[in-house]
Structure 1
Amino acid sequence: MKLQIEPIGNAYSEQAIDLILTIQQQEFNIPITVDDQPDLKQIESFYHEAGGNFWGAFIEGELVGSIALVKFDEKAGAIRKMFVKKEFRGKELNIAQILLEILIAFCRENKIDDIYLGTISVLKAAQRFYERNDFVKIKKENLPERFPLMSADDIFYHIHID
């Protein structure tokens, strides 16, 4: 199984929606719909044009993971859409780690020093993953004013990169 990670655009909207909604709704019973996430239908205008990016992880042509960066300030971005299909998770393929490292490298290249993210309390493995990667939990009221809040998120993290 060969893993390929590349930036994706609107041509992959349907695959991204399928990947992400399946995990959100069926695996974690999060009451969120595609209408709550209009960014998935406009990847290019929402992520790319503002100076962020959206990456897909592919195995044999199948989209099995994603991560995105919303640039919301000159030197700040928010991680969004960090998902890996259940059967492709874990240390063996290390997809989540590779996706995160690609996003951080992109931030360094583009002089984005502060990365924030929101997640949901039921996503325990996600919280452990971010904490292992030196993200620090912060209170909602300590988020930057322009942080793009998602209604479902109730736990927030920050990391400063050099």
Structure 2
Amino acid sequence: MNNSPIVKQYSNEYQAQVVDLILDIQQQEYNIPITRKDQPDLFTIEDFYQTGSGNFWIAVYNEKVVGTISLLDIGNNQVALRKMFVDKEFRGAKFKTASLLLNNAIKWAKENSIKTVYLGTTPQFLAAHRFYEKNGFLSIGLKELPKNFPVLQVDKRFYRYSV
């Protein structure tokens, strides 16, 4: 039994767990009215995220998916950080799951000549805002996003990280 989650590249065998984790956090924990149908990317992760300079990772603890993160290639050596979710039990200092996932994604970005990581998030995710800011992300306005950044309807706060 390992004491901390292991971050690994997503593979299809984890799809059901990934969908369940993300929907549970969105719907149950944060009361965001978003459904499976609103997120078709969750059913085509390999084709949607794992292409170009993009990728998708999961944090696994005893064969259970406890976290996710992805980088979506948006061109011009830029990526959009998407689907950063961590099971409530695995947040914080004990497991450091969010840091493990983010550090893995930033390392990937550096190795793949990415210059900038952008992200959009919802106003409800206050702990996430603090986490991103603590990890070097700068808050930016909607107009500072590149034209090719996929703004989601729920996104109201935006960040930029220079790799």
TM-score using structure 2 length: 0.96
Alignment deviations for residues 69-109 of structure 1 (CA, whole Å, 9 cap, x no partner): 10111310011010110011111110101100000000000
Match of 1:155 in 2: 157
Give me the whole-angstrom Cα distance separating, in 1, the residues matched to 2:76 and 2:130. 28
Aligned equivalent of 2:106:
104
What does residue 146 of structure 1 align with?
148
Partner of 2:25: 23
SS in 1 for 2:21: helix
Tell me if the contact between 2:120 and 2:159 (Cα under 8 Å) persists in the aligned partners. Answer: yes
Matched pairs, number: 161
User: Does residue 9 of structure 2 align to residue 14 of structure 1?
Assistant: no
**Structure 1 stretches lacking a partner, 5+ long:** none
Displacement after TM superposition at 1:151 (Å): 1.2
What is the RMSD of the two structures over their aligned residues, measured on CA atoms?
0.9
Distance 1:148 1:108, change over 3 A: same
Q: Deviations over 1:111-142 (max 9, x none)?
A: 00100000000110000000001101111111
Matched, 1:36 2:38: yes
Tell me the amino acid that sits aligned with residue 126 of structure 1: A
2:4 and 2:80 mapped to 1: Cα distance? 28
* Residue aligning to 2:6: 4
TM-score (norm 1): 0.96
Residues 11/74 of structure 1: CA separation in 2 closer, same or farther (3 Å cut): farther
